[in-house]
Structure 1
Amino acid sequence: MADIQILSPPNKKVKENIATEMVKRSSIQETYERVQSAIRIVSLVVFVGGRLLINTFPVILIAVLGCVYLHIAKKSNGSNMDSCDGKKHEATIWKRPVFVKGPLGIVSGTEIAFLVMFIALLIWSYAIYLQTGFATITPKSAAAARTNISVMKLRTAARRLGLVGNIGLGFLFFPVARGSSLLPLLGLTSENSIKYHIWLGHIVMIICTSHGLLYIIYWAITNQISEMLEWSKDGISNVAGELSLIFGLFMWIASIQRIRRKMFELFFYTHNLYILFIIFFIFHIGIPFACIMLPGFYLFLVDRYLRFLQSRQQVRLISARVLPCETVELNFSKGHDRLGVSVEGPYGPASTNYLRQDTLVLISGGSGITPFISIIREFIFLSTELKCKTPKIILICVFRKSSSLSMIDLILPISTIPYDISDLRLQIEAYITKDKEPQLNNQTYLQTKWFKPNPTDAPIYAILGSNSWLWLGTIISSSFIIFLIIIGILIRYYIFPIENDPNDTFSNPLKSFLHMLIICGSIVMVASIAFLLNKKHNAKEDKKIQDMEELLSEINGSSVGVLAAGPKKMRQEIATICSSGLAKNLHFDSISFSW
């Protein structure tokens, strides 16, 4: 008969020890899980946020600091404007044109040097990418992939070429951010920078097209042509890349010089496909790799939205002059009865930059005289109003027909007060290339048309007012900080819980879409607020009554008689100003029409 052992229940002390040990184990396990979760969060933030900050933050910081620097320089130049002394400088060898013909156009030695260095950067990057990629290709890895080494090298070469194209794309949008602070910091203007955008566009499209063709060849060799229809949820999207390349090819073809000149509207509207090009490009590679091109595109987005806001409001058109050559000059206030006009800009440098030269030679062909008219008008103002010493101006203009000579009449602006330009050293030489003799029959003369202003139209203002650089720096920094805060919260409380689930993955296209949405939303919100505040300020300035004390204090003279006639309150205020002692040269006398 077996022994039956009856176990007595544990006593109270044993129960307490077991409970204590379980509490210790659960607390340790909970701490371990928290640490593990924190490590996952940090790794996710470092992977996404680290790339974002490393690639984007330095450029954003330089742009913001550049805005502050340009604001200080603008105020400094404004305070020294009365002296009108331009520093003379000599043209260096590097700034002189080296090539004047060819596919690059007119380029200087500095531009050639930077172009060569940029191409060298791309070649060096591609060589490094190939070296690291080919190092992992061995007979063993080829056998595991059931292919040969040459095919694997072809795939590596195609993929690394895409990485090089991403580097080129990172520079593509800097030259076309017209209001960016980076261009003036480098001594560039938006007009001069267009050719850099063209060069970069050709380079990027050559690389991206080669990248796509190599992948198509690889898929055809390996019988994986169906890969062209794949849109991966957690990897590279081939369909998005193909769509991006197609939109890029449309823009590239429309930008050919012959097509652009004959069908400019086709070129202009086709170039708006850059929006779809960038969207599908980000869907193709994902946000982590898109951070390389984000800085330039971010600054371009800020600038483009501000220009969009400015062009949506109609400006006040005062008059127009119609020349015999059918050229029309429009004069705006700084509303044919209702001619709707929207304006962007200005973007070019102030003509006072040319004060540093002793002589200016302006050579124009046809309508190319237009920018020179603005420059000469600025010099007329400086010499007549500010009594500044201006350089000698030699205007050499070439026209096809003699009727186009009337464009020279536009040098003098429309004004009820005649301009005395005797102090302006201006020499004009005009040449006709087509007409053998003047057309005397059916002559038409210059016509000036004045318009009735529309109360809803506004004068032309700088989009962000007089402190535009400070406002631009505020918009860039504030929108970027808002973007970082919102995307950080989104990653922590929405993306990370899904990424942390081993049975689920967060969609890469959705992640890219959320990043793009937040970037655009933060820029639109901050830029719109800044635009509305400046618009409100400009409206107040238009309705602002002139300060009489400021007007009287600016009058020079040893003895100035001030006669006041009008309402009693106005005469009292003027008498108070004259008797305040701030301006000892003012002598008040009141004229009253009431007894």
Structure 2
Amino acid sequence: MAMKYRCTLVVLKLSMSMLLAALACIWTVRLTRSWKRSWHEAEDRASTTVFSDSVLAVASLAYVYLHLTSKTDQESRKRQSILMTNLTNPITVMKRSIGIVSTAELLIATLFIIFLAWTYYSNVSSSFKMMTPYKSLKLNKWQLKMMYVGVRIGSLSEACLVLLFLPILRGMAVFRVFGVQFEASVRYHVWIGNLIILLSLLHGTIVMFIWGVKKSLLKEIVKWQSVGRVNIAGAMALTTGLIIWITSLPQIRRKQFQLFYLTHHLYIFFILFFLIHAGDKHFYLVFAGVLLFAVDKLLRIVQSRGTTSPISASILPNRALKLTLLKHPCMSYTPTSIIFVKVPIVSKFQWHPFSITSSSNMDNSELSILIKSHGQWTTGLFNLLNSVIDTGSSDHLKGIQIAVEGPYGPATVEYRRYKSLVLISGGSGISPFLSILQDIASRNGDMNKNPIKVQLIYVVKKVEDLSMLAVISPLLLENLKMKLFVTQENSPPVTAEKILQDLSLQIKTIASNKASSKGALSMPEGLLWKASITAVSFAVFLASLIILSYVFLHQESKSSSKKKKKDPSWIGDLFALCSLTIAASCCAMATMISRWKRTVSEGQQVPHRQSVCHENTSAKVQGTERHEIEFGIRPNLVEMLDEIEFGTEEEEVGIFVCGPASMNESVASFCIANRQCRKKDQRKQKCNFNVHFINFSL
């Protein structure tokens, strides 16, 4: 059976590679003279499918591939992970706005920039040779060239728009097939979004400058042509994009998250204005990403329609919350997974991501998250739960309704392929590592699937922040060594055991009866369902487009005996928009029916637990004589990693980092220097470091 899965995976890999290669070839050669001379007419006729079917087919195959990957043996996944790790290891640390760049990222970015340069050169050179004058404007030669320069820059933003939505797919994240998770791929969306705004701004500025020179700026902007590009829609798309971009700047997003969140939903109008401005033929170039995002968004809405209430809540000394939610026993997730949470009583619109701190192997009916109070939304939730705990009534806890999306996590568990593990975190960055430690604890009897040595380096500002560790203190294993750093406090010598026990005594907890809790978290749709729904959505879109065109255009042409005029552009735009809406709605309805049937058949039943309100007590932390704690200093991560000696020279050490940018950059710089020394044989290396970065925040 394992051999059958491996053969199927090879076939899927080849199929996806061939489809992507074919798509890349089409995008590249469509700009050549030979293509325009021989295939341009065929491209126009097949514009609905030629640029979309390959992307959607790859997405469907990717979901099937990820489904089968979870069923293959650990050695197969390990070989694949080693290849992906070599490509994703950092090779350079750039300025803070870009961050750490891996080999794969640098290679893909370089190829994409070359593609954009080739696209621009081909389009501009072709336009300069034709030099077709504008009928509405009497432009001289330099003005005409400037106009073409501006127009062709717009085609570059169109090429970027093809990729804009793919990195932010959550449930239908296609990047998982490359080992890239949603929280890591968000920065690709940011890069592409910045590039789109820059190119669109250049495009609009140059074109409007030429209009201004001819003193017809207002006349041209408000012009709504029946056939061709609609200028006013382009201006509205640019304005909408600028509003989204400005409110996405870190200075605004961090202080006014709700403003950022609400204005980001203007993407609907941005796509609509782009469709009207560019026309349906150009919309089909970017259609695949738009359809996948629309289906993904609707599936997430369907999942989050139901709400649940916490079965327990804890207040930690550092103003952090631990929430435990009831989940369906069949819902499983990998360590470092995240969920998105909305608490309507705090905000009806805001969704916030949090790392899951529990393990589905440890408890199949509960899911826990940690929330640090440091923003308006988290502070509001903290004050709400603090007042509930002070009342001591579990009925008030049941009255807090929570909507959840997810969980979203890696397809494979990377840490299990290492015998030696180093976890480096700062502040709230400990959250994803708690799930790793929980998972290790749940597999303590099977050392073939566990690291032999685990070292945790945890940096906090104040002693109270160490209470994040006290949540799992009973599970600290004998093979775990902790090095704790408290940077902003000085203290007399004290053991880690004493600190964690004291902090555990300060944790306040309230719990309710599981049986009285409103609903358990339901499982998200499986990968095979997502593969099917992707193919079905495209089929429904094509069918809707064909039917609408036949009913409204074909019948009109039959009833008209005169020579038929060219149809207005807005008709094709309207058909594309209606077909997209029908396809996405059908998928949402099918998912709702499927979830309803599954809920009825499962008849979710969970065990009971008596309501209790108590002060949390701690268990003895095992092996604390090996744990170290330092006050008033910051760790020298480069020096600490340089001193690590695990096993033999050939042994690989997994380094997982979750913390602020400065911490990530220090670890990345060390790993880059480590690999360079191995290549030059300047010194004997005891181990090879493979680093994995987990995003500190989204």
- Tell me which residue corresponds to 1:527: 588
Q: Residues 175 and 485 from structure 1, CA distance in 2 versus in 1: closer, same or farther, beyond 3 angstroms? A: same
In the alignment, does 2:332 pair up with 1:274?
no
- Tell me which residue corresponds to 1:447: 508
Structure 2 residue corresponding to 1:208, chosen from 200, 209, 215: 200
- Tell me which residue corresponds to 2:483: 429
SS of 2:322's equivalent in the other structure is strand
Counterpart amino acid of 1:175? Answer: P
Q: How far apart are the structure 2 equivalents of 1:484 and 1:321?
A: 52
Greater Cα offset, 173-182 or 480-489: 173-182
The Cα shift of 1:236 comes to: 0.8
In the alignment, does 2:431 pair up with 1:370?
yes
**Maintained 8 Å contact 1:84/1:388:** no
Q: Which deviations, in whole Å up to 9, do the C-alpha atoms of 1:361-407 show, x marking residues without a partner? A: 11111111111112211221122589843342211111111111111
Structure 2 residue corresponding to 1:311, chosen from 275, 284, 304: 304
**Maintained 8 Å contact 1:89/1:357:** no
Across the two proteins, how many residue pairs are aligned to each other?
Answer: 489
Counterpart amino acid of 1:119? Answer: I
Q: How far apart are the structure 2 equivalents of 1:488 and 1:276?
A: 25
In the alignment, does 2:463 pair up with 1:402?
yes
- Tell me which residue corresponds to 1:229: 222
SS of 2:69's equivalent in the other structure is helix
Q: How far apart are the structure 2 equivalents of 1:111 and 1:342?
A: 35
Q: How far apart are the structure 2 equivalents of 1:151 and 1:205?
A: 24
In the alignment, does 2:392 pair up with 1:338?
no
Q: How far apart are the structure 1 equivalents of 2:455 and 2:79?
A: 19
Structure 2 residue corresponding to 1:108, chosen from 86, 95, 102: 102
Q: Residues 516 and 391 from structure 1, CA distance in 2 versus in 1: closer, same or farther, beyond 3 angstroms? A: farther
In the alignment, does 2:74 pair up with 1:73?
no
Mapping of 1:65-464 within 5 angstroms? 65-77=61-73, 89=82, 92=86, 95-137=89-131, 146-180=138-172, 182-225=174-217, 226-334=219-327, 336-349=397-410, 352-383=413-444, 388-411=449-472, 422=477, 425-437=479-491, 445-453=506-514, 457-464=518-525
Counterpart amino acid of 1:131? Answer: S
The Cα shift of 1:252 comes to: 0.8
Counterpart amino acid of 1:110? Answer: A
SS of 1:98's equivalent in the other structure is strand
Greater Cα offset, 531-540 or 115-124: 531-540
The Cα shift of 1:93 comes to: 7.2
Q: How far apart are the structure 2 equivalents of 1:338 and 1:137?
A: 69
* Structure 1, unaligned runs of 5 or more: 1-42, 413-418, 547-595
Q: How far apart are the structure 2 equivalents of 1:459 and 1:181?
A: 24
Q: Residues 429 and 491 from structure 1, CA distance in 2 versus in 1: closer, same or farther, beyond 3 angstroms? A: same
- Tell me which residue corresponds to 2:527: 469
Larger radius of gyration, structure 1 or 2?
1
Q: How far apart are the structure 2 equivalents of 1:386 and 1:506?
A: 69
In the alignment, does 2:540 pair up with 1:482?
yes
Q: How far apart are the structure 2 equivalents of 1:319 and 1:545?
A: 15
Counterpart amino acid of 1:248? Answer: G
Q: Which deviations, in whole Å up to 9, do the C-alpha atoms of 1:82-132 show, x marking residues without a partner? A: x99898848537622411533211111321221122112111100110000
Q: How far apart are the structure 2 equivalents of 1:64 and 1:145?
A: 48
Q: How far apart are the structure 2 equivalents of 1:293 and 1:470?
A: 24
SS of 1:330's equivalent in the other structure is strand
SS of 2:408's equivalent in the other structure is coil
**Maintained 8 Å contact 2:70/2:411:** no
Q: Residues 445 and 361 from structure 1, CA distance in 2 versus in 1: closer, same or farther, beyond 3 angstroms? A: same
The Cα shift of 1:435 comes to: 2.3
SS of 1:103's equivalent in the other structure is coil
The Cα shift of 1:145 comes to: 6.6
Mapping of 1:3-82 within 5 angstroms? 50-77=46-73
Q: How far apart are the structure 1 equivalents of 2:557 and 2:517?
A: 53
The Cα shift of 1:143 comes to: 11
- Tell me which residue corresponds to 2:367: none
The Cα shift of 1:241 comes to: 0.9
Counterpart amino acid of 1:217? Answer: F
Q: How far apart are the structure 1 equivalents of 2:438 and 2:504?
A: 27
The Cα shift of 1:181 comes to: 5.1
Counterpart amino acid of 1:221? Answer: V
Q: Which deviations, in whole Å up to 9, do the C-alpha atoms of 1:324-364 show, x marking residues without a partner? A: 11100111112923111111111121673210112221111
Mapping of 1:571-590 within 5 angstroms? none
RMSD after superposition = 3.3
SS of 1:262's equivalent in the other structure is coil
The Cα shift of 1:507 comes to: 3.4
Q: Percent identity?
A: 28
Q: Which deviations, in whole Å up to 9, do the C-alpha atoms of 1:144-203 show, x marking residues without a partner? A: 974311111111111111111100111111101122352122221111111111110111
The Cα shift of 1:436 comes to: 2.5
Q: Residues 504 and 171 from structure 1, CA distance in 2 versus in 1: closer, same or farther, beyond 3 angstroms? A: same
- Tell me which residue corresponds to 1:32: none
SS of 2:401's equivalent in the other structure is coil
Counterpart amino acid of 1:460? Answer: L
* Structure 2, unaligned runs of 5 or more: 1-38, 328-394, 608-698
Q: How far apart are the structure 2 equivalents of 1:384 and 1:539?
A: 37
In the alignment, does 2:550 pair up with 1:492?
yes
Q: Residues 420 and 542 from structure 1, CA distance in 2 versus in 1: closer, same or farther, beyond 3 angstroms? A: farther
Q: How far apart are the structure 2 equivalents of 1:208 and 1:545?
A: 54
Q: Residues 48 and 536 from structure 1, CA distance in 2 versus in 1: closer, same or farther, beyond 3 angstroms? A: farther
Q: How far apart are the structure 2 equivalents of 1:521 and 1:443?
A: 54
Greater Cα offset, 525-534 or 263-272: 525-534
